[in-house]
Amino acid sequence: MKHNVQLIMYGENGEVEYGGDMKNAFKPTRDIADHDKHYFSGLLPQFWAEHGVSLADLYPFMAPRYDDIKKNETEIHFFGYYKFWDPQENYYYCLEHTGFTPNTEQSEGTYSKYASLDDKIDGSRYYLAFIKFGIGRATSDTAHEIRDGKITREEGIALVKRYDHEFPSRHYKEFLEYCDINEDDFHEVIDSWRADHIWTKEGNDWRLRKPIWGGLSKP
């Protein structure tokens, strides 16, 4: 708004690529009005002010007024509409043309070394998704590569079995400090999101009821 920029270009359409609303699957743009639904689950940042979060802390997440956005004729476009979105091929291109270098270790929770490297919370975010839904980062990555013909379904299942449950220990202490919680708080919150139809507890161990490879699985 400040500089009268009218075009916002994203990479891929996350809703389409990783499982979500297919409303905009066959067009290059997304309605500005859909932003809150996709990125805030329908709850505006101001909602959290009613739950103890200060407006000052919420400010970085608050968009300009909708009327101002419309007046500016702002449009969102997805590069993935114009060129087939293939994460592995994107990596090869960047490696050859931009000097990009991947991690020396695979990212926690998956087998790749080159995607989503921009912050230290990603590992925890994917692990929380694994707890809540029973599928984690390796499931997302393998599903994409199976669709793209990079790996077989059997290879994908083996990778999911090996990596999906991996605990994000690399930046765990920093994550706790950032969230201002201790380990007991972390595990209490984590376990409260384990749905009964996804998880079962045997002694002190949590297990997936129906992992993709069959049988029960200890995470």
d(CA 7, CA 77): 7
In this structure, is residue 125 part of a structural domain?
Answer: yes
Considering the domain architecture, whether residues 96 and 181 belong to the same structural domain is answered as: yes
The three-state (H, E, C) secondary structure of 35-59, written as one string: HHHHHHCCCCHHHHHHHCCCHHHHH
In this structure, is residue 37 part of a structural domain?
Answer: yes
d(CA 219, CA 206): 7
pLDDT digits (tens, 9 = 90+) for 87-139: 889 999 999 999 999 988 899 999 999 988 888 999 999 999 999 999 999 99
Residues 111, 159 contacting (CB under 8 angstroms): yes
d(CA 66, CA 53): 23
In this structure, is residue 45 part of a structural domain?
Answer: yes
Considering the domain architecture, whether residues 32 and 107 belong to the same structural domain is answered as: no
38: containing domain: 7-82
Mean pLDDT over the full length of the chain: 90
**Which residues, listed in sequence order, are joined to residue 10 by a DSSP beta bridge?**
78
- The one-letter amino acid code at 166 reads E
Total structural domains in the chain?
A: 2
pLDDT digits (tens, 9 = 90+) for 137-160: 999 999 989 999 999 999 999 999
In this structure, is residue 75 part of a structural domain?
Answer: yes
The residue from 47, 82, 117 where one domain ends is 82
The residue from 62, 82, 102 where one domain ends is 82
d(CA 201, CA 219): 11
In this structure, is residue 103 part of a structural domain?
Answer: yes
Q: 86 vs 57, 92, 118, 147, CA distance in Å?
A: 36, 10, 19, 10
Considering the domain architecture, whether residues 160 and 106 belong to the same structural domain is answered as: yes
In this structure, is residue 62 part of a structural domain?
Answer: yes
Considering the domain architecture, whether residues 36 and 130 belong to the same structural domain is answered as: no
In this structure, is residue 146 part of a structural domain?
Answer: yes
Considering the domain architecture, whether residues 40 and 115 belong to the same structural domain is answered as: no
In this structure, is residue 2 part of a structural domain?
Answer: no
Considering the domain architecture, whether residues 55 and 122 belong to the same structural domain is answered as: no
User: For position 153, what pLDDT does the model report?
Assistant: 95
